[in-house]
Chain A
Amino acid sequence: MTLTAANGGVLLAILIMALTTYLTRAGGVFVMARVPIGPRVERFINAMAGSVLVAVITPMAVHGDGGARMALVATAAVMLALRKPLPAITAGILTAALWRLVAA
């Protein structure tokens, strides 16, 4: 299945990509609205919610350079200490920039 870019093919492909993406956004809710939510499903969903972010962040830490790693460490440290996101993120970005300035 291949679209030709000419004659609106690009537009059609963009619409298909947009629809596919929206279905992922709505699909989880669509399913949950039809599943009886007992304590087991609730435990699964609760643990999964944070795990999504863990699974996004971990490869950044493991495969990133020293700057990216130290940025995450700084963010976590400031967040645990102050419980405020903005200083934590600022600390992370500054750490990455400084680390790379010195390492480069």
Chain B
Amino acid sequence: MGTRNHLWLAAKRTLTWYLVGFTISDRYATLVSVTGDSMHPTFTAASSSLRGDVVLAERSCLEKYQFSRGDVVLFKCPSDHRELFVKRLIALPGEWMQLPGSPDIIKIPEGHCWVEGDNASRSWDSRSFGPIPLGLIKGRVTHVIWPPSKIGRVDTKMPENRISPL
């Protein structure tokens, strides 16, 4: 009887912390491990032996969906809802921008945005799948948590080699 009681208590405590943790990760901030080299040098490219950088993504920006150009965002891949991507926001809804590598100028549709990886040569992003709906965005990356040598804020910056939105 004593052990059963003990087990019950332990289960209850686990469930409680699980619920609390889940809520915090859903509503306020969450930890994500970044793999792939599309965001090099902002985040380290993960090789098979090393896991990628662990980053902190805040969720409070999702209340109003207010982002600024240059934010690093976490979003669901438009072609596979199970995958999460981390890219940099280049253009916001209603802005005119020049397509990279072409003279065309497009207007970002209402409620959409343009995302690109920092490592343009190794990134699968809006240049291939076009502007994505803002609703796919699941958070904004604010800090790098791991490895210890890279702990710090993630800067909001626009890539220099790209023409910024007109």
Answer whether A and B are interacting partners. no
Residues of B within 8 A of A (CB): none
Contact surface of A with B, Cβ cutoff 8 Å: none
